[in-house]
Chains A and B, each alone.
Chain A
Amino acid sequence: MESIGVLMVCPMNSYLEHELEKRFNLFRFWTVPEKSAFLATNKNSIRAVVGNSSAGADAELIEVLPKLEIVASFSVGLDKIDLAKCKEKGIRVTNTPDVLTDDVADLAIGLMLAVLRKLCESDRYVRSGKWKKGDYRLTTKFTGKKVGIIGLGRIGMAVAKRAEAFSCPISYYSRTEKPEIKYKYYPGVVELAANCDILVVACSLTEETLHIINREVIDALGPKGVLINVGRGPHVDEPELVSALVERRLGGAGLDVFEHEPEVPEELFGLDNLVLLPHVGSGTVETRQAMADLVIGNLEAHFLNKPLLTPVV
C-alpha cells in the first residue's frame, strides 16, 4: 500500500501522520508552497484525503483529484466535506463518531460549571493576588438549572445524561421529536431558549443549522441565560452574540468554537462572564489516539476491500 497517495490537508495529529506514513505515501498539503502545481503533478497518485474540523474536501479539491476514492475525516463533523459531490462521484466518506462523544459532553458540562461558578475568573483572581485584598463575589448555582439542548444525537444525549445527575431538567429541540425520549421537546429554538437557563448547541452544521443561534434566540435566552457552543462556530451569528454579551443582554457564554478559528472577536477578551476555549472538544490524549486509529482503520479497510468501520457515504 506504500504507493497509495494519501493527502493530509492540514496538521492534526503527529501519531496519525507517523502511522499513515508507515502504510501509505503521505503528502502533507500544508508544507507544499505551490499547491496548484503540486496537485497537478500528484493528482493521479492521490487516492485518499484526510481532513478534520478545519479543512476537508470541498468541491474544488474533489474535482482536481480524479483518482480520489475516499475522504477520511479526523472529526465527527462533516461540514468541511462536500458530501453531495462525494456521493455523485462514488467517493466514500468516513468520520470519527462515538469515540469523542464523552469528551465533548464532558467539556460542555465543564463549560457550564466554569461559566456559572466563574472558575476561570476566580482562578485569575487568586493568581493576580486580589484574594489577599478581599473575597471573591458569589456565583450562580448550577444544580437544578434548566438545560436546553439543540440536537439530541450522541453528544446531545451524553450531555443530557450528565446534566441529569445535577438535577437539571432537560429539554431539547431537534429536527423531529423523539417520542421515546422522556425529555421535553420544543418545536422551535426560540421557544427552547425562552424556557431554559442554559442552551447547548450539540447538533451538526448543515445549511439548515447555519446561524441557528441568532438575535431572536439570544434575546429569548436573555440576560440571565448562558449559551454553550460545542458544535461549530457558524452555528452562531457571532457579531450578534458579541453585541449581546457586551451589552449584557445575554448572561454568559462558554465557547469552544468560533466562526473564523483561530480568530476570536477582540471584544470578548475583556468580559468576565465567558469561557473561551481553542476548539478542544475532543482534545484528550486518549480520544485523539482513538480518532487516529479510526482514520487508519477506515483507510486500511477501504484499500483491502473490507467493510469500512465508520462510513457516512
Chain B
Amino acid sequence: MATKETDNQQQRSSQELPVVLVNRLPSFRLPSKPPFEDDLLSHFHLLDPHDSPEPYDSFLSRHASSIRALITVGTTPVTAEFLNLLPCLGLVVGTSAGLDHIDLPACRSRGIAVTNASSAFSEDVADCAVGLLIDVLRRISSADRFVRGRMWPAKKEYPLGFKLRGKRVGIVGLGSIGSEVATRLSAFDCSIAYSSRKKKPSVPFPFYANVGDLASNSDVLILCCALTEETTHIVNKDVMIALGKQGVIINVGRGYLIDEKELVQCLLRGEIGGAGLDVFENEPNVPKELLGLDNVVLSPHRAVMTPESFEALLQLTVANLKAFFSNKPLLSVVSNE
C-alpha cells in the first residue's frame, strides 16, 4: 500500500518538481537541523537509493535519464565510475567545505559543474582557527585543565604564554576560509602573508610561492587549503624546521596536509612550539603522543559544526540547485584554476 502511494506521489511530483539525486554513503544522512530533507522536498523531487527497497544499481539505472543534478552528502565520494552511471548529470552540489572526495577532473571532462559549500562554513572555520591559535599561544585549554584539576591553590602560578600581537601569520590557501582568517587576525595586529597556487593580485599581503619560504618568514602557519595530490603532506619536516622552535601550526583543512608522524616527532623534540588541530590523518584516531601534551589543542573535526553554518549550507544548496534548473549562474561553482 505504502509503495503504491509513494509511486503515485513520485509520478505527480516528477511532473512538477526537478529531480535531484541524494548521493550518500548508507551511514551518512542529510543534516536534520535544520531539516534539509523537508526543505529540499518543497522545491525538488528527491531520489535516495538507500531509502528504496529496490537494489541500488537497479534504482539508479531506472532513474538515470531523469537525473541532471545530485547532492553529495558530507564526504560521500563522487568517482568517475559513478559518473558513468549518470549520463544526463550536469551538476554536483558539494555539502562539505572540502572537495577531495569528488573527482574534479572527471566532472570537468564530462562537462559537469561542481559547487562547493565553503562560503557557508568559512566564518565558522575561521573563528575556530583563531580560537585554536589563541588557545595554543595563551594555553587556554591547558589552564582550564589546571584550574579544574584544583591545582591553582597549590601551584599558585601558571606558566606564561606568548603574545599574539605582532606575530607573523602565514596562511596556506587564501580562499574563502583563509581570507576570513586574515581579516580577523589583522585586527589583532598580526602581520599576514600567504601561500597559494597562484598569487592573487588584488590581495595586499606578501605572497610566497613555496610553503617552506612562507614558514621561514612566519611565526604561525594556518592551513586553510584544499587537499589535493599537490598539497598532501605540504607541511613536512623541512617546513616545520623552517617554522622554528617557537612556531605554531593550526590545521583546519585536512589531516593529510601535514605529515602527521613528523608533526608528532617535531612536537616531542621541541622542533616546533605548538599546534592546534581540528583534523587528523586517520580520524577519529589521534596519535596517542599528542594526548599528553600541553602545547597542543585537539578538536574533533568540528570547525564547521554550528547550527548557523548548516542553515547557511541549506540555503546555499537550494540556491545553487534553483539556479541550475532555471539556467542562471551558479552561486559557488568551483573554477578550473
Contact = CB atoms under 8 A, between A and B. Distances in A.
A286 interface: yes
B302 A122 contact: yes
B141 A119 contact: yes
B285 interface: yes
Contacts of B112: none
Interface string B131-172: 110110111110111111010110011101111110000000
Nearest to B185: A165
Interface residues of B, number: 57
A276 B143 CA distance: 8
Contact of A117 (B128, B145, B152, B184): B128
Contact of B162 (A139, A269, A284): A284
B131 to A, nearest CB: 3
B115 interface: no
A47 interface: no
A103 interface: yes
A278 B297 contact: no
A277 B164 contact: no
A136 B308 CA distance: 16
Given A164-B187, A262-B152, A262-B153, A120 B138 contact: no
B185 to A, nearest CB: 8
Contacts of A161: 187
Interface residues of A, number: 53
B306 A138 contact: yes
B123 interface: yes
A284 B297 CA distance: 18
A286 B144 contact: no
Contacts of A127: 291, 298
A124 B132 CA distance: 14
5 contacts: A102-B189, A117-B128, A119-B128, A263-B153, A278-B143
Interface of A: 11, 102-103, 106-107, 109-111, 113-114, 117, 119-120, 122-127, 131-132, 135-144, 161-162, 164-167, 261-264, 269, 275-278, 280, 283-288
Given A111-B140, A263-B153, A286-B162, 13 more contacts: A106-B165, A106-B188, A110-B138, A126-B291, A127-B291, A143-B127, A162-B188, A262-B156, A269-B150, A275-B140, A280-B143, A280-B158, A284-B160
